[in-house]
Structure 1
Amino acid sequence: MGGEHTGRFDGRIALVTGAGSGIGAAVARRLAAQGAEVFAADVDGPAAQSVARELRGAQPLTVDVTDPRQVDTAFGEIVRRHGRLDVLVHAAGVDDPTAKEWIAEALVADRPPEVTGRLGDDAWRHVMRVNLDGTFHVLRAALRVMAPRRSGVVVTVGSSSAFDAQAGYPHYAASKSGAHALSQSVAKEAIAFGVRVNTVAPGPTETGMAARTPAALRRGFADPRVRPYATPEEIADVALFLASEEAANLVGAVLLANGGRFTA
């Protein structure tokens, strides 16, 4: 696949959340390179602006997906400008660096991680608000725009963590598992209105989240029998496949992109 211009998304209006970095930024670049007019949304406004400046005709949006009003305003702005939204890739998400540190400390000490008993309400709610509530806010706004036109494609970025449910990472695993089920339920509803919804579930990927992962934990993810960490561009290519007409018969799919670490 790759980032060269293919015309695959010529004339399409596309919104990418989490576009300021990592997988979202790679998706925004790929979509623009393949002809889409991209709205690059991120809670970090300057990061969204930086990515948008790279891309032909791209527009930055500052959006906190935990705030439904901000989400609805962003979708409304796109519809006001273009009358429609053709492609949505929802890549906004967060991890928990503190919990990762606790897991890494346990690995180094060769003892089981003890996280759940130490996990505060604020940490739990933050991860759930962004990863699960945010996915609901974005999917709801997308259907409000796309379903009346009987057209549109949505790709959500989940995680392989929803399946292997790593010890010591309960809030992240639960948030991503919930986001998968949410996307699949919405997919079954949305297809009746001509809207396709699918999910890509990456494994370890070289993003800002990975950069914050402690060295001991990164070594734990390393395995010579499987592919190394994915690049954001490799995951973006899977997302663009799901967003393209080549995936016309995929509805409610969750595609594991974890380099062969496990299957589900």
Structure 2
Amino acid sequence: MLEAKRILVTGGGSGIGASVAAVCAEAGARVAVLDIDPAKAEAVAATLAGAGHAGLACDVSVARSVEKAFSRVTEAFGGIDGVVNCAGIWRPASDGPITRVSDETWDRIIAVNLTGTFYVCRAAVGAMEPNGSGSIVTIASVVAVTGWDKLNAYSASKGGVLALSRALAIECGPKNIRVNCICPGVIETPMTEKTLAHSKPTVLPIGRLGRPEDIARTAAFLCSDWSSFTTASTVMVDGGFSAA
């Protein structure tokens, strides 16, 4: 499905990002795994099916770091066909009530989740324009649509990602660059593990929590030519949570 595709994944050192990298590689892509922890990025890249993958350091909240990483991947791979924005953070212990949300918590969550996605998308469009095609997948959250009690900064950051994705899709349509946004529900990852130990959602029509591969398979499809007429879409991969 992704034979000969060159896919870059941010936040690829663990969780959803690592799963996206694995699924894309299994589908035939050459994958660049980017993570703020270069050791994790390299470790994931080393486990991927096929050959020619790379693991690199990248702090998405720093524009220069993103530009450097994209430059290295473009040079090594000869171009980039798909980008999946998986880098993200949340701080449920300090993200609410709003009167207790510190400036530092707000600024950091927005810097990584929203500004980081902006930096990556900006670099992705620059890398894809010479090819005359490409696919960008952003990862928002079900909270971008539903909101979440006492999760103010995270909800705002993911709502921004969703809005940015739709605006960018309109801009990039004439360039044959597609932009789609996945909104995961509650996914079992290291990032959510501590929260889920104390509180799990009670209304999940599908009857289980999500797994990283549920998101990864959707991302791989959106990076593939099978989704060539799909852009500006918001794909809810949430087990029915947003409908319930």
Partner of 2:9: 16
Shift in Å at residue 222 of structure 1? 3.1
Aligned partner of residue 81 in structure 1, secondary structure: helix
Shift of 1:214: 4.9
Alpha-carbon separation, structure 1, partners of 2:9 and 2:223: 12
Deviation at 1:146, TM superposition (A): 0.6
Report SS of the residue matched to 2:72.
Answer: helix
Q: Is the 8 A contact 2:189 2:212 kept in 1?
A: yes
Q: Deviations for 1:209-250, whole angstroms, at most 9, x for unmatched residues?
A: 2212153322xx133644311110011111111111121111
* Cα shift at 1:130: 0.3
Partner of 2:183: 201
Is 1:210 matched up with 2:192? yes
1:158 has 2:153 as partner: no
Structure 1 residue 239 and structure 2 residue 233: aligned? no
Q: Which residue does 1:95 correspond to in 2? A: 90
Report the equivalent of 1:44. Answer: 37
Q: CA deviation at 1:15?
A: 0.4
Q: Which residue in the other structure is 1:3 paired with?
A: none
Once superposed, what is the RMSD of the aligned Cα atoms? 1.5
Task: List runs of 5+ in structure 2 lacking aligned partners.
Answer: none
Superposed CA deviations along residues 40-72 of structure 1, whole A, max 9, x for unmatched, are: 001111111110110132210110000110101
1:171 aligns with 2:153: yes
Amino acid at match of 1:63: C
Question: Which residue of structure 1 aligns with residue 239 of structure 2?
Answer: 259
Judge which range, 244-253 or 115-124, deviates more. Answer: 244-253
Q: Does 1:186 align with 2:181?
A: no
Question: Aligned pair 1:249/2:229, yes or no?
Answer: yes
Q: Distance in 2 between matches of 1:74 and 1:169?
A: 31
Q: Does 1:69 align with 2:64?
A: yes
- Greater gyration radius: 1
Alpha carbons 2:94, 2:100 under 8 Å: kept: no
**1:105-184 matches, cutoff 5 A:** 115-184=97-166
Q: Give the TM-score normalised by structure 1.
A: 0.88
Q: Which amino acid aligns with 1:67?
A: V
Q: Is the 8 A contact 2:204 2:239 kept in 1?
A: no
Instruction: Specify the code of the residue in structure 1 equivalent to 2:85.
Output: H
8 Å CA contact 1:21–1:47 kept in 2: the answer is yes
Identity of aligned residues (%): 36
Determine the C-alpha separation between the residues in 1 that align with 2:115 and 2:170.
Answer: 19
- Give the unaligned 5+ runs of structure 1: 1-7, 101-113
CA distance in 2, matches of 1:39, 1:168: 35
Distance 2:210 2:216 in 1: 10
Contact 2:94 2:102 in 1 (8 A): no
Could you tell me which residue of structure 2 aligns to residue 109 of structure 1? none
Q: Distance in 1 between matches of 2:151 and 2:163?
A: 18
Total equivalences in the alignment = 242
